Amino acid sequence: MKRRGFFGQIPDSEQQIPAPTAPPRVVGSLDRPPAAETAVQSVVQTVPKDHTGGSTPGLVSAHHRLYASIARGLPAPRSTPRNFNDLLKNVIWPIENALDSAMIDAAARLSALEALEAGCTTVIDHHASPRAIEGSLTLIARACTEVGVRVVCSYAASDLRGPDRARQGLEESRRFIQAGGRGMIGIDASFTASPETIDLAIGVANELGVGVHAKVAEGIADSGGGSDLVRRSKDSWVLAHGVHLPDGLEIAGTIAHCPRSNMDRGVGYGMPSRFGPRVALGTDGFGGDLLEEFRIAYGRLREIDVGTSPRKPWGWLEAGWLLVPEARQDRVHWSLNEIEPEHLVANTGIRARSVHVAGRTVFEDGRPTQVDADEIRARAAEQTRRLISRL
CATH of the domain at 172: 3.20.20.140
DSSP-derived 3-state class of residue 273: helix
Give CA–CA dist 225/190, Å, rounded: 6
Bridge partners of 3? 10, 75
Q: List, edge to edge, every strand of the sheet that includes 74-75.
A: 8-10, 3-5, 74-75
The percent of the chain in helix, strand and coil, each rounded to the nearest 5, is 45, 15, 40
Q: Tell me, yes or no, whether 318 lies in a domain.
A: yes
> In the prediction, which pLDDT does 27 show?
60
Q: Tell me, yes or no, whether 298 lies in a domain.
A: yes
DSSP-derived 3-state class of residue 64: strand
Q: Tell me, yes or no, whether 368 lies in a domain.
A: yes
CA 239, 296, 222, 84: dihedral to nearest 10 degrees?
Answer: -140
- Tally of domains within the chain: 1
Q: Tell me, yes or no, whether 116 lies in a domain.
A: yes
Q: Tell me, yes or no, whether 27 lies in a domain.
A: no
> In the prediction, which pLDDT does 50 show?
52
Cβ–Cβ < 8 Å for 236, 26:
yes
What string of pLDDT tens digits covers the 391 residues of the chain? 344 343 333 333 333 323 334 444 456 543 334 444 333 333 323 444 556 679 999 999 999 999 999 999 998 888 899 999 999 999 999 999 999 999 999 999 999 999 999 999 999 999 999 999 999 999 999 999 999 999 999 999 999 999 999 999 999 999 999 999 999 999 999 899 999 999 999 999 999 999 999 999 999 988 888 899 999 999 999 999 999 999 999 899 999 999 999 999 999 999 999 999 999 999 999 999 999 999 999 999 999 999 999 999 999 999 999 999 999 999 999 999 989 999 999 899 899 999 999 999 999 999 999 999 999 999 999 999 999 999 9
Give CA–CA dist 340/244, Å, rounded: 31
Q: Tell me, yes or no, whether 364 lies in a domain.
A: yes
Cβ–Cβ < 8 Å for 172, 18:
no
Q: Which of 180, 160, 118, 164 has the alpha carbon at shortest distance from 317? A: 118
Q: Tell me, yes or no, whether 21 lies in a domain.
A: no
Q: Tell me, yes or no, whether 18 lies in a domain.
A: no
What is the model's pTM?
Answer: 0.88
Pairing outcome for strands 59-64 and 120-125: parallel
Q: Which of 148, 151, 150, 152 has the alpha carbon at shortest distance from 360? A: 148
> The domain containing residue 299 runs over which residues?
54-378
Give CA–CA dist 237/235, Å, rounded: 6
Length of the chain: 391
Give CA–CA dist 354/366, Å, rounded: 7
Residue 185: in which H helix or E strand, if any?
strand 185-187
